[in-house]
Structure 1
Amino acid sequence: MADTARWTRRPDGANWGDFGPDDQLGRVNLIGSEQILKGAAEVRAGRSFCLSLPLDLPGGNALNPRRHPPKLQPTWRGDTPVLNYGMDGVVADSIDVVSDDQVLLCLQYSTQWDALAHVGARFDVDGNGSETMVYYNGYRAEHDVKGPAEMAAGCCDGGHQSHADALGIENMAVHGMQGRGVLVDLARHYGRERKLVGYDEIAAVMAQDGVTVERGDFLVLRTGFAELVMEMGGKPDPHLLHETCPVMNGRDQRLLQWITDSGIAAICADNYAVEAYPAPEVAGRKSILPLHHHCLFKLGIPLGELWYLRDLAAWLQENGRSRFMLTAPPLRLPGAVGSPVTPVATV
């Protein structure tokens, strides 16, 4: 364990410093050449599956009132929208017609990655009895992850109102999010029953299906939630969405310890938040997102949410497989705390 200027004390069970004092990747460091080769070895049928929802789903604000569907609009040449734009107005005798657009996009509205700057905690990193708002590896709120006040004070370029100077999503993009995915099909066992899944449940499913995960793998969880979203066609029923499909129990300490011990590099799920939100109630001060707290804050394990897994799961089941090559880079958008993603599974 290496302490740094950012911290002298790390949370119990955290791996801060294990990948270096200034690490910004966490367990993504485990995705290297060996994992890429393991993923490539799973490509035998030459078939690929898109694991993204259409990025305008789920529709509305049923899952999160702060996140809005994307809004497309053209770029503009003066007062003229550049859509079906005849270039003869720019260059005489041109036959070209051009369309050029832009989007206002909530980065975590639909199929997404959470960056390590997405969820932090109040923690006494200095060991002096005073809690500080920090993220993975002790990176500081307001100093390393900046909001509007800090951005305004710094007179930043580009007009940004927020910026993760550390732990931004671009770190995952540059490293490359490609390796071996392993599917655990909870939906096939539990249907659409709203069920808290802890260690006992996931271990039973994996044992029954002959699924094993190893160090550096992407753990991919199918609950059936994204399929329900697709069926709703952009008009989601919030009550149904919040009361259906199996969901991980972030309060289960054995589950959290298994995540630590397994060595998995990332968790990707087809539901909102991966875990039950809010988590089951317990007394005292606590995280309301204990699995996020354990993965993003303590271990540096990024979380993927709202992935679409139905077609891949069906193919794997038909062919007696659970592993595949996964290619899932986020946007290389410096300073962002999340990103849409179009994951591709290749079998």
Structure 2
Amino acid sequence: MGVTAVARSPFARSVSISGERTAGAQATRKITLGAMGAEVPIVVTAEDGTEATHTLQIRRRPLAQDTTLSGLVPDAGTLDPAFDPDVLGYALTVPGDRVAFTPTALNPKAAITVQGQAVASGAASPPIQVPVGDTAVAVKVVSEDGTADATYTIKVTRPEPELPQDGATAPPARAALSTTSGRQYGLHDGTYDVTMNLWYGVNASVFVLYENGKEIARRDLTPKTPSAQKATVAVTGRKNGTYVYTGELLNQAGRTATTSAKVVVTDANPGRPGLSSDNWDGDGDYTIRMNMWWGANATSYRLYEDGVLVDTQPLDPATPAAQSAATVLTGRPAGRHTYVAELANAAGVTRSDPLTVVAE
């Protein structure tokens, strides 16, 4: 760490930090800290030659409580200012639409997340999508013992690309947006295409698609004015909610907004499961069966007995096909038992209605 010592009198001859003397009334030196810190002697020599010695005690908290990064490296651009473990805020300009960071913790046992995604110390994060404009990226470090945390924040800027030099003398004609949500199965499950169609007119070289005002895709086009142009963007993994799509067509002469398209996702969560049992004889040995007959598929099944998880199984999704699972239970004590199933996918969880089984 850096230590700066300033003499009270501006006429001091010198200032010494850890034996390294600097002429004048101020000195700065980098100090290497040990596991517990450092003891730094500072000697000030006055104008008349007399010396005064001071001791700076630097105490370092135990490594298990440390939340410091020793390195933070982007895969594009250069951090501003240059990385310093004690500086938490940075700016970064990148040329493309994605960036990844490699954070290294001083304590390799500290937990690191980049934009909420767990990352091993010294390993690259998953790529982060960067739309045109500013995006805040958070790198959080949690101490080994979980008692402290620190967040390094990087303001990532992606400049607006220059208009393509395609020789156009007029801006593009206006295009229309459409979506395929609900067309294939009647499900608005968060997986669909957004398509731009320019039926006739001055062509564009670039199509930009925005979702709720944020850029999510950019496609290069081949202009052949006045022929039709088309571009399709696949959208996946959207949770239940409303998504408004807008676009821009760009050429050398300018940019033109497309029409908008709205998608309301209502079926992203798994379809509702139903439960049944084969406890016809009323003993404590029976099978609970789950069936989801049609709808968005799940990737996992969980069964609860009287509020306690008793079974978990992975499922293979093939929306909108039926899914099923069975849980074999033996030796259940006499009494009433209530079962609830959960189906889960990346969008959310859907619970079944309760099923009551009586064991005698």
Normalised by the length of structure 1, the TM-score is 0.18
Hey, which of these two has a bigger chunk of strand by percent?
Answer: 2
Of structures 1 and 2, the larger Rg is shown by: 2
Q: Select the structure that is richer in helix.
A: 1
Relative contact order, higher structure (CA 8 A, sep 6+) = 1
